């Protein structure tokens, strides 16, 4: 099984640092950084609006615990967004490539 993990970051620098560390540590095969995400959310009883960068993290499901721990250890938010969605379908060669990039299987 494979997954796509979403994680928002407050700045391009934080996004780049997190993305690079996940790939460098062979926890994710690929991380896309989407700039210019505008988030509207409730935090501590108030509605907030923030410009963020969205990470799209591709990995096998077996890597989720290590990815969550790595994000929580490095992310500046008290409660970072970490949401995983299983990939039910994908090109077989792409999914095989994801597996080949990782040390966690």
The helix/strand/coil state of 81 is coil
pLDDT in tens, 37-90: 999 999 999 999 999 999 999 999 999 999 999 999 999 999 999 999 999 999
Tokens 């991380």 locate to 31
pLDDT at 94 over 60: yes
Closest CA to 20 of 11, 32, 10: 32
The torsion defined by the Cα of 81, 9, 5 and 22, in degrees rounded to 10, comes to -120
Lowest mean pLDDT among 14-18, 31-35, 84-88, 97-101: 97-101
Q: How confident is residue 22, by pLDDT bands cut at 50, 70 and 90? A: very high
pLDDT at 23: 96
pLDDT at 101: 86
Closest CA to 50 of 36, 42, 61, 40: 40
CATH fold label, 2-100: Alpha-Beta Plaits (3.30.70)
pLDDT at 104: 58
């Amino acid at each position: 099984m494979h997954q796509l993990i979403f994680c928002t970051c407050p700045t391009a620098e934080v996004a780049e640092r997190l993305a690079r560390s996940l790939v460098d540590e062979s926890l994710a095969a690929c991380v896309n950084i989407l700039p210019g995400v505008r988030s509207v959310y409730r935090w501590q009883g108030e509605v907030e609006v923030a410009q963020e960068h969205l990470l799209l993290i591709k990995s096998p499901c077996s890597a989720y615990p290590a990815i969550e721990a790595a994000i929580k250890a490095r992310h500046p938010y008290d409660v970072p967004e970490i949401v995983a969605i299983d990939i039910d379908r994908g090109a077989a060669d792409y999914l095989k490539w994801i597996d080949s990039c990782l040390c966690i299987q």
